[in-house]
Amino acid sequence: MIPINAPRLGEEEIKAVVKVMKSGFLTHGLGAGPVVTKFEKAFAKFVGAKHAIAVNTGTSALHLAIAGAGIKQGDEVILPSFTFVSTAEVIAIAGAKPVFVDIDPETHNISPKKVEKALTKKTKAVMPVDLYGLPADMQPIKDIADKHGLTIIEDSAQAHGASYKGKPVGTFADAACWSFYASKNMTTGEGGMITTNNGELAEKMRFMRSHGEKEKYKSLMLGHNYRMPEIQAAIGCVQLKKLPKFLAKRRENVKRLTAELGKAKNLQLPKEPKGCKHSWYLYTIRLKGPKGNKRDKIVEALRQKGIGAEVYYTTPIHLMPYYRKFGRYRLPETEKAAKHVLSLPVHPGVNTKQTGFISESVLHLVG
């Protein structure tokens, strides 16, 4: 089976982990161990941010950003429904209301026009998602946020190495949240990061990361246990150095797939809008016309051939049982996409022969 994604780990990561284990220093009471701090500084530099706060998961990063921004009960946060559930989950955990809006059918990212129409007096923040690794259209979103005094928390969990208008994703947000889950473009096994240029927000999130403590056993505010262990950070330091090569290999695989799949009339292929650089976490195609109704059968046929095709996301969040209580939403583009998209493997472990096999198999099924 050619998996949809696979971590690329080598001797360097193993040596880094063993070094931490031999040191006996596995974690830090305030989450600021030496290896974690090294990883934070390196990641902040990579994405061009002043501050980076390492945490134990991408979901923790999102929640810490929401909590740090002061989102509370009675507030509303606008976000797309076509994303992983954690984006909405952290809003609900804060006691706020997730307000779902539709997507652009070409990019599958949140529609800035829909964001503006969803504004109310209770709106406090916007959470755009860089879906599949493609940056959201941040300039109009920032214009809206600046006009109405809103916080922007960017879910960049899938966008390591992506850029928008020549700048790393997260630049146009008050805070950007990243995931280092095993499937991501770089991994720490589990893990996350928040990056920001706001020093006051960064300090607050560092306290909240470890029980609201500035010093051990002196809690200043309500917090959580979201610390990243030293072992995870050690893996992250190595993976970050390898990330440029990982991204280059993904781009090569995408280029080959696109050249072949462009022959099919029944497919909408992923694009890079002007000013955007995709990280290609996922290569997501969309079936058009009558073939769209056969998406699930095509996915199953690809799997039977040993190709790990996947569907992200089969059920939009606004249609999930728990989230229906936040209102009834009509999101036609979101619901169409959920029925017609599928993702193909392009990770660095996929070789030239395999990309040829993938494209040949897809063309045979949709031709």
Q: What is the pTM of this model?
A: 0.97
Summarised one tens digit per residue, pLDDT across range 247-283 is 999 999 999 999 999 999 999 999 999 999 999 999 9
Percent of the chain with pLDDT over 90: 98
SS3 of 296, please?
Answer: helix
Domains 11-238 and 244-366 equal at CATH topology level: no
Mean pLDDT, rounded, for 106-124: 98
pLDDT bracket for residue 367 (50, 70, 90): confident
Task: Give the tens place of pLDDT for each residue, 188-217.
Answer: 999 999 999 999 999 999 999 999 999 999
Q: What are phi and psi of 233, to 5 degrees?
A: -65, -35
CATH class (in words) of the domain with range 244-366: alpha beta
- Identity (one letter) of the amino acid at 244? P
Least confident of 33-37, 54-58, 286-290, 352-356: 286-290
Asked whether residue 83 carries a pLDDT value surpassing 80, the answer given is yes
- Confidence band (pLDDT; 50, 70, 90) for 309? very high
**What are the pLDDT digits (tens) for 227-241?**
999 999 999 999 999
Catalytic residue among 97, 114, 142, 184: 184
Tell me the average pLDDT across 88-109. 98
Q: Environment class of residue 167 by beta-carbon count within 10 Å: exposed (0-12), middle (13-18) or buried (19+)?
A: middle
Q: Where are the domains of the chain?
A: 11-238, 244-366
Query: What is the fold, at CATH topology level, of the domain defined by 11-238?
Result: Aspartate Aminotransferase; domain 2 (3.40.640)
State residue 291's pLDDT score. 73
Is 167 a residue of the active site?
no
**The predicted structure's pLDDT at residue 289:** 83
Read off the pLDDT band of 351 (50, 70, 90). very high
* Percentage with pLDDT > 70 across the chain: 100
Can you tell me which residue has the tokens 């921004």?
69
**pLDDT score of 90:** 98
As a whole number of angstroms, the distance between CA 79 and CA 195 comes to: 19
Q: What is the pLDDT of residues 13-37, one digit of tens each?
A: 999 999 999 999 999 989 999 999 9
Q: Are 46 and 180 within 8 A, CB to CB?
A: no
- Res. 77 pLDDT band, cuts 50 70 90: very high
Residue 292 has pLDDT above 80, yes or no: no
> Edge-to-edge strands of the sheet including 97-101?
51-55, 192-196, 175-179, 151-155, 123-126, 76-80, 97-101
Per-residue confidence at 178, pLDDT binned at 50, 70, 90?
Answer: very high
Q: pLDDT band at residue 172, thresholds of 50, 70 and 90?
A: very high
- The mean predicted confidence, pLDDT, of the chain is 97
Tokens found for residue 307: 């190709």
DSSP calls for 111-154: -HHHHHHT--TTEEEE--B-GGGPPP-HHHHHHHHHHHT-EEEE
pLDDT score for 214: 92
**pLDDT value for 293:** 85
Enclosing H/E stretch for 167: strand 167-168
Q: What is the mean pLDDT of residues 120-148?
A: 98
